[in-house]
Amino acid sequence: MSATVTKELMPWLLAGDPAIRWQAMRDLQGAPKKRWHAERLRTVSEGWGARLLSLQAPDGCWGGGIYSPKWTSTTYSMLTLRAIGIPPDHHPAQQAAALVLDKQLGPTRDEAFMRNLAACDSCIVGMDLSLAAYFGIRDARIDAMVENLLAEMMHDGAWNCRRHRRPLPHHSSLHTTFNVLEGLRDWLESTPKHALRTDVLNAEKSALEFVLQHRLFKSDKTGNIINDKFTMLSWPHHWHYDVLRGLAYFARVDAPHDERLEDGIALLYSRRRADGMWTVQHKYTGRTFFDMEKVGGPSRWNTLRSLRVLRWWER
C-alpha cells in the first residue's frame, strides 16, 4: 500500500459502494484477485451499479435514447457502469453495448455502417469502442472503428471531434483526445494480438506527447490555463476533460515520469484536504438518474482516482 494512503483512508474507502471497494482493494490494497473479484461481483446486486442496472428499460435502453438525453441515455449509463467496473460478462449490459453499436453506427460492417462511421464524431466513436471492447463485442466493425480513429488524427498528433465542421479546427482537443484514447486503450487491453496494435500504440504515444506539450492544461504558446474547468475535479466527467482524467490515463498506462506532468501533479496535491480526501469540485449540468456523490463533500471516487495517480507518481 502506498504511503499516500493513510491508515484512516483505507477503512473509509472500503466503507463505500462496492464500486469503490473492489477497485480500492485491487489498486491500493494489493488484495489477491479472489478477494477483490468477489467484491466486484457485488456491483450488479448492490449499490450504484445495481441501482443503475434496475433502470434499464425492457427494450435495453436507458433514458429513452442511445446518445441523448444527457446524462441518462444508454451510452452515458453504460459508461458509468464501465467506470463502476461491473463484470464485463453481465448479459444485460452486453446486450446494451451491442444495442449502442447497432443503433448508432449499424449492425454490420456494410456501406451504411461505414458512412455512419465516417460522419460520427470521434468522441462518440471512442466511447462506442470503449463499450464494445469492455463488453466483449468482437466483429469486423471494431476493426473499422480503430482504423477510423487512426485516420482521424490531426497534424498535431491527437484528435478533435470538430475536425470536419466549419470553421475547421486547427488544433486537437483534450476532450476528444481522451475519449478516443480511453476507447483505444480498452481495445488494446482486450485485444492482445492484432495487426493494428503497433499503429495504435504509436498513436497513443503521439497523443500523450500532445498532452505533455500542454502540461495537461496549459497553452503551449502562452502557458496560460486553457480552461478553468480543466483544473476542477469532476465526477462523473462524461465527455469532458480535466487534469485528474488526464493524470489517471498516464497512471493507467504506467507512463514514464516527465517533468511536464509536474504542474498537474502539483495541482492534484493542492486539491487534497487536510484529512487526506478529495472532493467533487464541479458537476456538469444535465439530467441524472441519481447523484453518486455531492459537490463539495468528500468524494470516494476522486479520492480513489487521485490515490491511484499518486501511487504511480510516487513510485
* Contacts of 3 by beta carbon, 8 Å cutoff, 6+ apart: 314
- CA dihedral 284→233→267→203, nearest 10 degrees, is -80
Rg from Cα positions in the chain: 19
**Residue 57, burial from CB neighbour count under 10 angstroms (0-12, 13-18, 19+):** exposed
Instruction: Answer for the pair 174, 226: CB distance below 8 angstroms, yes or no.
Output: yes
Query: pLDDT in tens for each of the 315 residues of the chain?
Result: 455 777 789 999 999 999 999 999 999 999 999 999 999 999 999 999 999 999 999 999 999 999 999 999 999 999 999 999 999 999 999 999 999 999 999 999 999 999 999 999 999 999 999 999 999 999 999 999 999 999 999 999 999 998 878 788 889 999 999 999 999 999 999 999 999 999 999 999 999 999 999 999 999 999 999 999 999 999 999 999 999 999 999 999 999 999 999 999 999 999 999 999 999 999 999 999 999 999 999 999 999 999 999 999 998
Give the Cα separation of 302 and 283 in Å (integer): 13
* Contacts of 37 by beta carbon, 8 Å cutoff, 6+ apart: 22
**Phi, psi of 298, rounded to the nearest 5 degrees:** -60, 135
